[in-house]
Chain A
């Protein structure tokens, strides 16, 4: 059950640099929780940040800065945060924080054709983040998008063309792609979807209800 479809390097680098906005970062962090391979690459991207910090031109430090910091040091280090969580959990951290718990507490909103969604609020206005639940064997309504779309599978799996995406796999689609992911027949598929522009559904019926559902 190991991950096959990974994060593209530009996402890992932007995330490590601190230049990736919150919406995309949720998908990156959730994938990293499920993928040791990408964590190794992320560690290299962090090391690039460390080397760049080393490389910055630096004036000698000022004594008054040191005195100010020294005065703020207290003894006794910060206790390690430990907050035991009941296992098992389906949604990894940090996604649970955003959803407000694991999947069983989700209050789904119908999207039509049996599909449903949960909108996830962030401080990032450039993206839209949601959980999508697609019934077994059913398609996500066909859509194109104005920009990038990241889809990360959390339960079940979906097929897009000839490619299967299962738990932990991430599909990275750009604006040019009109695609039709279909949940595989065994189970409902729940995924995290992040887009940088409102989804435009192609079918007229969904376009009709789009303003009402606010998707």
Chain B
């Protein structure tokens, strides 16, 4: 799979997802399905759990359809939003743990100071840019990220699998993320 050249493909995915949210556009949804279903199935089959990857993929796509009206393009690209739905269903199915998440409507929630980070937001909404940044990581850092994102492995499981000290795994993750943030430019501070 090659990186998207300039984020165009993902931009259209974002527009399709917005169309599903706005008007339950079934044609838009089918295009999304044709693109994401095989990827989600591949993602689910890497978790190594007992639930069928096909079933989890279908659950994810049905959830995408149902929740599409909640998708907010200013918070991230379509693939980011769809990834988060797939990830949560996978945790549910394979680990039987809850995934605690903050609630933006909670009275104790501390809101963003200003929605001024438009430029920074745009940067990581561009999935092609994130993909290119990923391709530039050294192999040892990319491996640690892939084991986390695709195989759902804890830091200590990665350390055991690669026969590395836990501290090395943590520092590779930090180095990788630092480099990604610099390349993507999504971190204003």
Contacts and interface: CB of A to CB of B under 8 A. Distances in A.
Given A60-B38, A92-B106, 17 more contacts: A10-B177, A17-B149, A19-B152, A21-B154, A33-B106, A33-B109, A34-B108, A48-B149, A51-B79, A53-B43, A54-B79, A58-B35, A68-B58, A72-B62, A94-B100, A95-B100, A123-B98
Contact of A59 (B35, B38, B98, B150): B38
A36 B113 contact: yes
Nearest to A73: B65
A21 to B, nearest CB: 6
Given A49-B84, A53-B86, A93-B109, A13 B148 contact: yes
Given A20-B154, A56-B1, A89-B107, A46 B173 contact: no
A51 B130 contact: yes
10 contacts: A8-B170, A19-B153, A45-B177, A48-B149, A50-B80, A50-B127, A51-B127, A78-B67, A92-B102, A122-B98
| Residue in B10, B26, B97 with the greatest tally of chain A CB atoms within 10 Å | B97
Contacts of A50: 76-83, 127, 130
Interface of B: 1, 3-4, 10, 21, 24, 26, 29-30, 33-40, 42-43, 54, 57-58, 61-62, 65-70, 75-84, 86-88, 90-91, 95-103, 105-113, 117, 120, 124-125, 127, 130-131, 133-134, 145-146, 148-155, 169-170, 173-174, 176-178, 180-181, 184, 186-189
Nearest to A6: B189
A39 interface: yes
Please provide the 8 A-B residue pairs with the shortest distance between their CB atoms, ordered closest to farther: A87-B107, A50-B80, A50-B79, A58-B38, A33-B102, A51-B130, A17-B148, A92-B108
B108 A18 contact: no
Interface in A66-99: 66, 68-70, 72-75, 77-78, 80, 82, 85-95, 97-98
A61 B38 contact: yes
A208 interface: no
| Interface residues of B, dominant DSSP | helix
Interface stretch (A24-32, A106-114, A131-139, A198-206): A24-32
Contacts of A30: 100, 102
B108 A58 contact: no
Contacts of B4: 54
Interface of A: 8-10, 12-14, 16-22, 25-26, 28-30, 32-37, 39-41, 43-61, 65-66, 68-70, 72-75, 77-78, 80, 82, 85-95, 97-98, 122-124, 126, 168
Given A47-B76, A52-B149, A93-B109, A58 B42 contact: yes
B80 to A, nearest CB: 3
B102 A43 contact: no
Nearest to B57: A65
| Residue in A39, A44, A72, A123 with the greatest tally of chain B CB atoms within 10 Å | A44
A33 B111 CA distance: 8
Nearest to A54: B79
Contacts of B152: 17-19
Contacts of B106: 33, 85, 89, 92-93
Contact of B108 (A14, A69, A93, A123): A93
Given A49-B87, A124-B97, A57 B1 contact: yes
